């Protein structure tokens, strides 16, 4: 079932709330930059990202959490490091093709 079918009063509110949360996570320069860098580099650990985006660690962690909670990125723990990467399908479902390949990669 496509998104538009099945819209009724009850669904609507939920749907708008969902997209509000997603777009809210995207609506920030820093976070877009993070997405851009993750897209460029694939998998990146926080320690590297701190240098790439030049943010204090706690601030970066804060913004990563927002992206993670919105399901726009994923986290994988490997030893001491936390590696983040884009949640490609999710971002693709949100942003126009015009934004390929800034914030998500070209389709393989």
Partner DNA sequence: TTAATATATCAAATAAAATTGATGTACATA
Partner DNA sequence: TATGTACATCAATTTTATTTGATATATTAA
Minimum distance from residue 106 beta carbon to DNA (Å): 27
19 binds, among DNA, its own copies, none (CB under 5 to 8 A by kind): its own copies
Closest CA to 65 of 28, 101, 40: 28
Would you count residue 27 as binding its own copies (CB under 8 A)?
Answer: yes
DSSP class of residue 98 equals: G
The pair of structure tokens assigned to 45 is 């650990």
Q: How far apart are CA 35 and CA 39, in angstroms?
A: 6
Give the contact letters, 35-54, x = binds to DNA (CB under 7 A), - = no.
Answer: ----------xxxx-x----
Binding site for its own copies (CB under 8 A): 3-4, 7, 12-13, 15-17, 19-20, 23-24, 26-29, 32-33, 36, 92-102
């Amino acid at each position: 079932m496509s998104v538009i079918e099945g819209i009724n009063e009850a669904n609507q509110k939920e749907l708008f709330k969902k997209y509000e949360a997603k777009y809210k996570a995207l609506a920030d320069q820093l976070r877009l930059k993070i997405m851009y860098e993750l897209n460029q580099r694939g998998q990146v650990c926080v320690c590297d990202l701190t240098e790439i985006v030049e943010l204090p660690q706690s601030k970066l962690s804060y913004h990563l959490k927002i992206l993670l909670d919105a399901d726009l990125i994923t986290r994988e723990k490997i030893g001491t490091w936390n590696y983040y990467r884009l949640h490609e399908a999710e971002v693709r479902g949100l942003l126009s093709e015009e934004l390929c390949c800034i914030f998500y990669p070209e389709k393989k």
